[in-house]
Amino acid sequence: MNDIADVIRPKIDTTGIVERPRRLRTSPAMRSLVRESRINPDGFIQPLFVVPGTRLREPIPSMPGIERLSVDETVRECRELARLGVRAVLLFGIPESKDAAASSNYDPNGIVQRAAREIKNALPEMIVAADLCNCEYTDHGHCGIVDQSGYVDNDRTLEILVMTALTYARAGVDIIAPSDMMDGRVGAIRRALDADGYVRTTIMSYAAKYASAFYGPFREAADSAPAFGDRRTYQMDPGNAREALREVRLDVDEGADIVMVKPALAYMDVIRRVREAVDRPVATYNVSGEYAMVKAAGERGWIDEAQVVDEMLLGFARAGADIVITYFAKDYLRRHGG
């Protein structure tokens, strides 16, 4: 009588199978040995929101685990990040006052300038990047000077960006990151920095920044939502990828040292195209809405948050990102032995 397995199992001739990729998946050690893409924690940048005051840690409701920090608490947070292995932070300032000309932005004693000085004094090896935009500093919430028709004036905005970039460099900022999407801003900033002696200050341009719905929680955190209209006349249309390459090449030609794609999760095809098109380091920003979605689903038990975060970060690396700006940097390093 035939064995039951012989009855129910079809007779398949496997002698002709030459390729057996499953041999390389037999154990965690084997899978790790042959892994093509890896997460690089040395390439993480943790964003930080800095507010006036002292001893302040204000939770951001739409971004669980992220807080607005006073300058002293920002320094304390940087010490903890450095202990875990985070080597770079990206500062966003929320000023005490706003006006139409974003004058708090280029104040030498502004919130970002003060935070940068204190961080560099306490932790000289920490890389301090500063987001360079005007939306947190204008009373209308747009990224530049608005004319009577409500249109953002490109060239008048450049003047403010250049003045602010110089105050950032003088405060010790290592990386200036213009995120405004004005035409010609990288070249104007580079020329001004070089003329003022800051030839070693790096520019990380938000080269392909899309007009995205994923920014909602950030606008709550930074109090930067536009009071009227939207930002589609200067941020990129989400349907365009070839245009992203044009924007990136322009920024590289103007002197950008690092180019960025923002957001990350829905734009990994753009990250890949940019990686293949330029020889500069490529950054991507794992933005607030991406963070909030994962946190919300994780809190409800719908996903395994830690596994999803690791898979998402690996996806950015696979797409070609060298640098990942992510609110998950601290948590990732806590989980992985930081």
Left if phi > 0, otherwise alpha if psi is -120 to 50, otherwise beta: which for 255? left
d(CA 256, CA 34): 34
Choose, from 120, 262, 295, 330, the residue flagged as catalytic. 262
What is the SS3 assignment for the chain? Answer: CCCHHHHHCCCCCCCCCCCCHHHHHCCHHHHHHCCCCCCCHHHEEEEEEECCCCCCEEECCCCCCCEEECHHHHHHHHHHHHHHCCCEEEEEECCCCCECCCCCCCCCCCHHHHHHHHHHHHCCCCEEEEEECCCCCECCCCCCCECCCCCECHHHHHHHHHHHHHHHHHCCCCEEEECCCCCCHHHHHHHHHHHCCCCCCEEEEEEEEECCHHHHHHHHHHCCCCCCCCCCCCCECCCCCHHHHHHHHHHHHHCCCEEEEECCHHHHHHHHHHHHHCCCCEEEEECHHHHHHHHHHHHCCCCCHHHHHHHHHHHHHHHCCCEEEECCHHHHHHHCCC
Choose, from 98, 209, 295, 330, the residue flagged as catalytic. 209
Do residues 275 and 196 touch, judged by C-beta distance below 8 A?
no
Do residues 113 and 103 touch, judged by C-beta distance below 8 A?
no
Q: What angle do helix axes 305-319 and 268-277 make, rounded to 10 degrees?
A: 30
Active site residue 98: no
d(CA 61, CA 69): 14
d(CA 107, CA 163): 9
Q: What residues act catalytically?
A: 209, 262
